[in-house]
Structure 1
C-alpha cells in the first residue's frame, strides 16, 4: 500500500489516483496510513462526477453515465471525440475508467487519440491498467497505445500494473514493449520494486525474468532484495539472489521516530537486508538470509540484528544469529526504532539506551526466554551497563517504564498491566539469580527500587526490599522510591502516584520523614552543600 501525490484540482482525480511510491523503511508501521490506489480512484471520482462533464461535454457525460446509445448518436452527429474536460481527460479516459469496452471501441473507431493524456500525463491505458482490465488493455494496445508513455512523475503503466498485481496485464504490457527497467522520478523506483512492495509474487517473478533489474537501487538506495526482506517474501528473495542480488545489500536506515511515524532516512546509516527483515517482523525471512550467509554483526544502523531480534520477540532468530557468530554483547549505538510512537518519562531521569546489550534489552522487555538464550546459549555478559551505568536489573524492574506504554513501544491498557508486572517480576528474579547488584546506582542516582515504583503495584518493589534493596536512596531529583510512589511526580506529561506501592514501602520501613521531592533543584542544592563543606573552616 502506498500514499499518493497531491491533488491539483477536482478534475485531476483520474491522474492522482494512480500516483504514489512504495515505502522504503525497515518496518511497515505506516501501512495503516495509506490507501490502495484503486480504492482512492473510486472515492476521488465520486467527488468529481457531478462537475467533471458539464453540458458542453455531452459525449463525456454519456460515457461517464454508461449511456452507449446516446454516445453513438453523438459520435454519428459529428461530436469531437477528443474534446477534453478541464483537466485534459477525454471521453476515452472515462471509457477506460468505467471499463466500458464497447464505448472504447466506438471512440477509437471515431478517431479518438489513444495516447491522449490529461494534465498529469495519465492516459486511458494507465487507467485500464489500474482497473486490472486485460481486455481493455489489449484493446488500447491493439489501437496503438504506447506502453511506455509515463505520467509527469515518470510512472509508467507497467509500474501501475506491478502495484495492482495482475500478472496477465504485466505480461501483456511487456509483450507490447514496456520497459521493465524504467524508474519513476520521485524515488527512482521500478516496476519490480512496486510489485515487491505490494507482495505480488507472480508479477515480481515475471518482471525479474524479463530484465526487471535484480540489483537496481532507488534514489534512497533500496534494492529489490530490501523490498522482499521488508515484505518477508522468501520466494522472490531466492530468485533475486539467483539473479545476482547480494545477501549483504543494505541502504540508509529508514525508521519511524515520532507520533506520525514519518520515514526518517539517515544518510550516515546502513541497514542490511537482514535488519530490514527483522524490523519488519519477518522471522522466516531473517532465518533465510542468515542461512544464506548474511552478516550477523552488521551494525551500520547503530544496532545489530541481535538487538532487533530481541525487540521483535524472535527467540528462534536470536538462536540462529548466535549460531552464525553474532556478538552476544553487541552495544546499541542508536536508539531502537519505536513501533508506534515515542514517549519518554520526561522527568530528567530516563535511562540512556546507548550501550545497551541484547541482554539488557531483553531484561527491559521482561523476556526471560531470550534472556536465558543469550546467557546460557550465547555466553552474554549480564553485568554490562548502558553509557549512564544503568543495569539490566534496573530496566527489568522498570527504570525505563512509561505509564500507558509497554516496553516495545506499543500503547498498553489496564488489561495488559498485570502481564507487564508478571513479565517484569520474572526478569527481575532472573537478574538476581545471575548475581546483579540489587543496590547498584546509575549516573542519575536511580536504583532498581526506583524503577520498581515507576512500574507500580505491590509485586516487584516489596520483593526487592525483601531481597535486601536499600529503601531510602535519593536519586538525582532528590527522590527516594517512597517519595515517587506516595507523593507522585510528573512523568510523560501526566501526574502519577502509586499509593499502594508507597504504602507497601512504608510498611516495610521506608523513611517517610525525609521531605518532599526537591525536583530539578536537588542536584544544585547538593552541589552547593558539597562546595560549602569543602571550604576551609575559619
Structure 2
C-alpha cells in the first residue's frame, strides 16, 4: 500500500508529501513500483524531475540507470569507474544508460558515456526498438543529437512503427534538428507504417514551410 501511495504522490506532483512520506519510510525510495521500475525512474518518466531528485536523496546507492535518468553526473562517473562493463547494459524496462541520458536530455552524462565507450547504435530491448538518437530527437535536443551523429549514430534507423529521427524532428518543427539530420544523410523518402513521410508529419502539425523543404523530389 505504501508504494502505491508513493506512486500516487509522484503522479500528482506532490513534492512536499513525497518528502514527508520518505522521511518516515525511507526504504520506499528503493522499492520497485507497480510499473516494475524504481520510484526515481517513475518520477522521471512522469516528467517530475524535482520529485525524482528528492527521491534520489533517500536512495543509499542509485543504480546506473536511475543516475542517468535523473542527471546525477558524479554518480554515473563513479558507477562506470567501479564497473565499466555496465555501460552497455539494459535497464529493467529495456533501455541503455546512454538511451536514458539522451531521453532526459542530460548532455554531460551522454557525452561522458560515449567517451567511455557507450554504443550509439544499440536499440532498446523492449519491443520499441528505440535508439539513443531517437531519444535525443524526442527530447528536442540539438547538442546531444549532433554528438551522437558525430560519434557514428545512424540517421535513418527506425523505431517501432517505422519512425525515423527525421519523422520526429519534422513533427516537432525543429528546423535546426532537421538540417542537422539532413546534413548527416537522413532520408526524406522514409515512410512510417501507414505511409507517412517526414513532410506529411510536418504538414499535419502546420509546419508548412518545413513540409515543403522535406518534400521528396519527383
CA displacement, residues 413-453 of structure 1 (integer Å, 9 cap, x when unaligned): xxxxxxxxxxxxxxxxxxxxxxxxxxxxxxxxxxxxxxxxx
**Per-residue displacement from partner, 1:298-319 (whole Å, max 9, x unpaired)?**
xxxxxxxxxxxxxxxxxxxxxx
Q: Is the 8 A contact 2:37 2:93 kept in 1?
A: no
Cα offset, 1:133, TM superposition: 2.2
Choose between structure 1 and 2: higher strand proportion: 1
Equivalent residue pairs, number: 199
Asked whether the equivalents of residues 96 and 128 of structure 1 are also in contact (C-alpha less than 8 Å), the reply is no
Q: Give the direction of change, closer, same or farther, for the CA distance of 1:173–1:49 in structure 2 (3 Å limit).
A: farther
- Partners of 1:95 and 1:276 in 2: CA distance: 35
Deviation at 1:136, TM superposition (A): 2.2
SS of 2:153's partner is: coil
Greater relative CO (CA pairs within 8 A, separation 6+): 2
* Match in the other structure for 2:98: 158
Q: Does 1:279 align with 2:218?
A: no
Corresponding residue for residue 136 of structure 1 = 75
Name 1:382's counterpart in structure 2. none
Q: 2:56 aligns to what?
A: 98
Q: CA deviation at 1:171?
A: 0.4
The whole-number CA distance in structure 2 between the counterparts of 1:249 and 1:141 is 37
CA contact (8 A) 1:96 1:127 kept: no
Secondary structure at the aligned position of 1:245 is classed as coil
Residue matched to 1:328: none
The structure with the greater share of residues assigned to helix is: 2
Q: Which residue of 2 aligns with 1:193?
A: 134
- Cα deviations by residue, 1:193-235 (Å, 9 ceiling, x for unpaired): 1111121111111112112221111121111111111111222
Determine which of 169, 177, 181 is the counterpart of 2:121: 181
Residue 47 of structure 2 corresponds to none
- CA deviations 1:443-493 (Å, max 9, x no partner) are xxxxxxxxxxxxxxxxxxxxxxxxxxxxxxxxxxxxxxxxxxxxxxxxxxx
1:147 match: secondary structure: helix
Structure 2: gaps spanning 5 or more residues = 42-51
Aligned to 1:252, the other structure's residue is in SS state coil
Cα distance, 1:148 vs structure 2: 2.0
Contact 2:37–2:92 (CA under 8 A) maintained in structure 1: no
In structure 2, the CA distance between the partners of 1:125 and 1:243, relative to structure 1 (3 Å rule), is same
Matched, 1:288 2:210: no
* 8 Å CA contact retained: 2:120, 2:151: yes
Partner of 1:375: none
CA contact (8 A) 2:19 2:55 kept: no
Measured on the aligned residues, the alpha-carbon RMSD in Å equals 3.9
- Over 3 Å counting, the alpha-carbon distance change for 1:202 and 1:231 in structure 2 is same
TM-score by length of 2: 0.72
Seen in structure 2, the aligned counterparts of structure 1 residues 186 and 52 have a Cα distance that, compared at 3 Å, is: farther
CA distance in 1, matches of 2:4, 2:152: 33
| Distance change in 2, residues 1:85/1:275 (3 Å) | closer
Correspondences of 1:394-405 after superposition (within 5 Å):
none
TM-score, normalised relative to structure 1: 0.32
Unaligned runs of 5+ in 1: 1-8, 18-38, 54-59, 65-83, 105-122, 254-269, 297-538
Structure 1 residues 272, 182: closer, same or farther in 2, change over 3 A? same
What does residue 237 of structure 1 align with? 178
Q: 1-side partners of 2:157 and 2:185: how far apart?
A: 11
> Is the CA contact 1:234–1:288 (under 8 Å) kept in the aligned structure 2?
no
Residues 124 and 274 of structure 1: is their aligned pair in 2 closer, same or farther, counting only changes over 3 Å?
Answer: same
1:170 aligns with 2:110: yes
Q: Quickly say closer, same or farther: Cα 1:52–1:42, change in 2 above 3 A.
A: farther
